[in-house]
Amino acid sequence: MAQIFHRSSNSLAKVSIAGTLLGLSGLVWAAYEINAGAFITNVAVAREQPVPFSHKHHVTDDGIDCRYCHTSVETSPFAGLPPTETCMSCHSQIWTNAAMLEPVRASFRTGQSIAWTRVHDLPDYVYFNHSIHVNKGIGCATCHGRVDQMPLTYAVNTLYMQWCVECHRNPEKYVRPREQVFNMAYEAPADQLEQGRRLVTQYKIQSLTDCVTCHR
């Protein structure tokens, strides 16, 4: 009776064993990568905005402090987004008829708010408080990156839980002196760990990893 299979099928069979293993682990790896990738997290993706607002221009060129617009960052969970009024306090004087700024003027005329697209968007079951982080010496740039160098704003961190927890477990790696919090250009010193540990004790920073710290 003729052979049913060609003799090559022997080796094929052997290969298929390894192939299955590799294939499966490959799938897991792919899933992990996609989940961490820009498609899901929007990291490094400049979001479409009604007005192409440039932090680079306003912070680096004009030297405006973060708190000029994000007024409640030191006192409230929410950093605060400037009301149209704030924009107009300058733009009623300069660039008064730049087409780019029409939405702002329109908003001021009509009383209709500008609808910005969220760049840093935590899930609704995560409760983040800006004020406590700022007060404990976590710099803006630590989470938001060099916003002062972004023509259009984008996120530099995934804001995934592992990213938060990494700092909550080892604050000393990231904490900086309070007076440096709003300094975008701040460079961590060589002895960051040492200084970090000092600041952690000085600012009574607890590494809070209870679930209810963020979830309730």
Partner 1 sequence: MEEERVATLDPGPDKVIGPGHDFKSVTEKIGGVVFMPFVRTPRQLFIGFAVAFVLVNLFLVAVTWLFARGVGVWGIVIPVAWGFAIVNFVWWIGIGHAGTLISAILLLLKQDWRTSINRFSEAMTLFAVACAGMFPILHLGRPWLAYWLLPYPNTMWLWPQPRSPLIWDVFAVSTYASVSFLFWFTGLIPDFATMRDSARQSWARKIFGVLAMGWRSSAKHWARYQKAYLLLAGLSTPLVVSVHSVVSFDFSVSILPGWHTTIFPPYFVAGAIYSGFAMVLTLAIPVRRWYHLEDMITMRHIECMSKVMLGTGLIVAYGYGMEAFMAWYSGNQFERFMYWNRAWGGHYWWTYVLLIFCNILIPQALWSRRVRMSVPAVFAIALVVNVGMWLERFVIVVTSLERDFMPSAWGRYYPTFWDIATYAGTIGVFLCLMFLFIRGLPAISMFEMREVVHHEEPSHAHGD
Partner 2 sequence: MKEPKYWRSLEELQQSESFRRFAEDEFADRTPDWNDPASRRRFLRVMGASLALGGAAACTKQPKETIVPYVRQPEEFVPGKPLFYATSIMSAGLATGALVESHLGRPTKVEGNPDHPASLGATTPQMQATVLTLYDPDRAQTVTHNGNIDTWGNFVTALAAVRDVADLKKGAGLRLLTGTITSPTLAAQIGEILAAFPQARWHQWEPCGSHTEYAGSVAAFGKAWNAVYRLNRAARIVSLDADFLDPWFPGSLRYTRDYTAKRRDAAQNSTEAPRLYVAESAPSITGGMAEHRFRMRAADIESFAEGLVEGASDPRQHALLKDLEDHRGSSVVIAGRYQQPRVHAIAHLLNERFGNIGSTVIYTDPVEANPTDQVASLRELVAEMRSGAVEALLILGGNPVYDAPADLNFLEALQHVKLRAQLGLYYNETAEWCHWHVPEAHTFESWSDARAWDGTASIVQPLIAPIYNGKTPHEVLGVLLNQADRSAHDTVQDFWRAQHKGTDFSDFWQIALHDGLIAGTAFPEQAPPAARIPEATAASSGVEISFRPDPCVGDGTSSNNAWLQELPKPCNKMTWDNALWISAKTAERFNLGTGDIVELSQAGRKLRGPVWIQPGHADESLTIHFGYGRTRAGRVADGVGFNAYALRASGALWHGAGAQMKRISHGYSFATTQHTQTMEERDPFRLATVDEYRSHPDFARPEGQRVTKDLTLFPMWNYPKYKWGLSIDLTACTGCNACMVACQAENNIAVVGKEEVAKGRHMNWIRLDRYFSGPVDDPQMYFQPVPCMHCEDALCELVCPVAATVHSGEGLNEMVYNRCVGTRYCSNNCPYKVRRFNFYLYSDWYTRSLYGGRNPDVSVRSRGVMEKCSYCVQRINEAKIGAEKEDRPVRDGEIITACQQACPANAIVFGNLNDPESEVSRRKRQQRDYSLLEELNTHPRTTYLARLRHPNPDLEKG
Positions touching partner 1 (CB under 8 A) are 1, 4-5, 9-10, 13, 28, 32, 35-36, 158, 160-162, 165-166
User: In the numeric block, which tokens belong to residue 188?
Assistant: 């961590």
Residue 45 or 100: the one with the smaller Cβ distance to partner 1 is 45
Q: Work out what residue 136 binds among partner 2, partner 1, none; the CB cut-off runs from 5 to 8 Å by kind.
A: partner 2
* Least separation in angstroms between CB 161 and partner 1: 4
Residue 117 near residue 47, CB atoms below 8 Å: yes
Is 159 in contact with 197 (CB distance < 8 Å)? no
10 binds, among partner 1, partner 2, none (CB under 5 to 8 A by kind): partner 1
CB 41 within 8 A of CB 154: no
Q: How far is the CB of 158 from partner 1 (least distance, A)?
A: 7
Residue 162's binding partner among partner 2, partner 1, none (Cβ under 5 to 8 angstroms by kind) is partner 1
8 Å CB contact between 115 and 50: yes
Q: How far apart are CA 15 and CA 6, in angstroms?
A: 15
Please list, in sequence order, all residues whose beta carbon lies within 8 angstroms of the beta carbon of residue 68, skipping any fewer than 6 positions away. 82, 86
Which CB, 54 or 213, lies closer to partner 2? 213
22 vs 117: CA distance, rounded Å:
41
Residues 16 and 5: their CA atoms lie apart, in Å, by 16
Complex with partner 2: residue 131 or 192, whichever CB lies closer: 131
Q: Least distance in Å: CB of 184 to partner 2?
A: 21
Query: Which of partner 2, partner 1, none lies near 103, with the C-beta cut-off 5 to 8 A by kind?
Result: none
Residue 89 near which of partner 2, partner 1, none (CB within 5-8 Å, type-dependent): none
Q: Quick one: 13 or 29, whose CB is closer to partner 2?
A: 29
- Sign of the torsion formed by the C-alpha atoms of 103, 108, 110 and 113: positive
